[in-house]
Amino acid sequence: MFFSMMIFGLVLSTALLVVYSLTYFNIESGMEEKLTPFECGFDPLSKMRTPFSTRFFLLVVLFLIFDVEVALLFPVLSAFYSSSSVNILMVVSAFIAILLFGMFHEWNEGALDWISQ
């Protein structure tokens, strides 16, 4: 089993390298603009102190926080399906309640409103 998975990994990585080498485009064919870095609409060589929307920054931070917390739910849910325990159900319910409380708090504070009134 392990040997066949190792062979499959080697074949897949070799196939990806072959596809990449066959589809690689020439830099001198007018693709210089596509190779430049793109950072959310900002020119990477512009001034670093240009103002940006703090509401957008706050929304991104909230998204990352809730995204990581949801990612933490997946192992717990898999443990719940492997053994039906009331303790696991209580822990998951408390975790989701804390998430919902935080989301409703941010909603009441107006942090989730994209357009300010």
Q: What is the pLDDT along the chain (117 residues), one digit of tens a residue?
A: 888 899 999 999 999 999 888 877 655 556 666 666 666 666 666 666 667 777 777 778 878 887 888 787 777 777 767 776 777 778 778 888 988 898 888 888 877 776 655
Q: Exposed (0-12), middle (13-18) or buried (19+): which is 94, by Cβ within 10 Å?
A: exposed
pTM for the full predicted model: 0.44
